[in-house]
Amino acid sequence: MAIDLYYTPDSPACRLVLLVAAALDLQMEHHHINLQNGDQYDPKYLKINPQHSVPTIVDNGFPVWEARAIGRYLVNKYGMGSTLYPTELKERTLVDMRLDFDLGVLYERFAYYFYPQLFIGERPDKVHFAKLLEAMFFFNTFLAGETYAAGPTLTLADLSLVSTISTIEASGMDLTPFENILEWYTRVKATALKYEETNGKGLEVFKEMVDNWRRNKTEL
């Protein structure tokens, strides 16, 4: 039975799940949730995920949400022998550390800084911007001398962080001060399976939204 995926193409968290599914060559039944139309509040969807967030998967009746938990679930269940989520304790802990960093620090700080501007027209907040820059420098430091975010091989950490970094870039942030991030970003785009089909496509939709917002903002 195919796994059901409830998603929105431009959402960074959803793009992460698409990247993991491609890496594992998993077929999923895609269900588009239109957040603007409020599809996430449909009682049928709330029954599956009372948190009304995307992405959510339903695997043989078992619902999972929170993108990084979905990633771990998919590799644990369908990625036998995959290096995406290593089984050795220290290697796995490093991947977990980077996933938690992305969820709780990097993406979180980006969202606090950028989404109030994009969605409710607020002015940029200097303190939030400084916190985001600090997180970018953290990540740049983690990458010093490393090939990937959690060591020498591509893991779930890279798929998660590339969905965030590409979103940050699409928001208009200049990445040139972050040399290690730039090198890593180029490498991940070239090695993550079906990158353009999964992250690239949804990112274009996000970029369009940002471009429209920027145009309307300067016209005011």
Ligand X SMILES: N[C@@H](CCC(=O)N[C@@H](CS)C(=O)NCC(=O)O)C(=O)O
Q: Is 53 a catalytic residue?
A: no
Is 189 near ligand X (CB under 6 A)? no
Residue pair 157/149 in contact by the 8 Å Cβ criterion: yes
The smaller minimum CB distance to ligand X, of residues 25 and 100, is found at 100
SS3 11: coil
Q: Could you tell me whether strands 56-59 and 62-65 are parallel, antiparallel, or unpaired per DSSP bridges?
A: antiparallel
Show the site string, 56-85: x = touches ligand X by CB under 6 A, - = not: ---------xxx------------------
**C-alpha distance across the termini of the chain, in Å:** 51
Q: Could you tell me the two tokens for 126?
A: 């200097």
The smaller minimum CB distance to ligand X, of residues 77 and 187, is found at 77
Show the site string, 2-21: x = touches ligand X by CB under 6 A, - = not: ------x--x-x--------
Q: Name the one range near ligand X by CB under 6 A: 48-56, 86-94, 127-135, 169-177.
A: 48-56
Helical spans, DSSP H, in 66-125: 67-78, 89-101, 107-120
Rounded to 5°, angle at Cα 111 from 109 and 117: 120
Phi first, then psi, for residue 3 (nearest 5°) are: -85, 135
Q: Which helix (DSSP H) or strand (DSSP E) does residue 6 occupy? A: strand 3-7
Is 199 near ligand X (CB under 6 A)? no
The smaller minimum CB distance to ligand X, of residues 71 and 79, is found at 71
The smaller minimum CB distance to ligand X, of residues 37 and 183, is found at 37
Which residues in this chain contact ligand X in the complex, by CB under 6 A? 8, 11, 13, 35, 40, 52-55, 65-67
Catalytic residues: 11
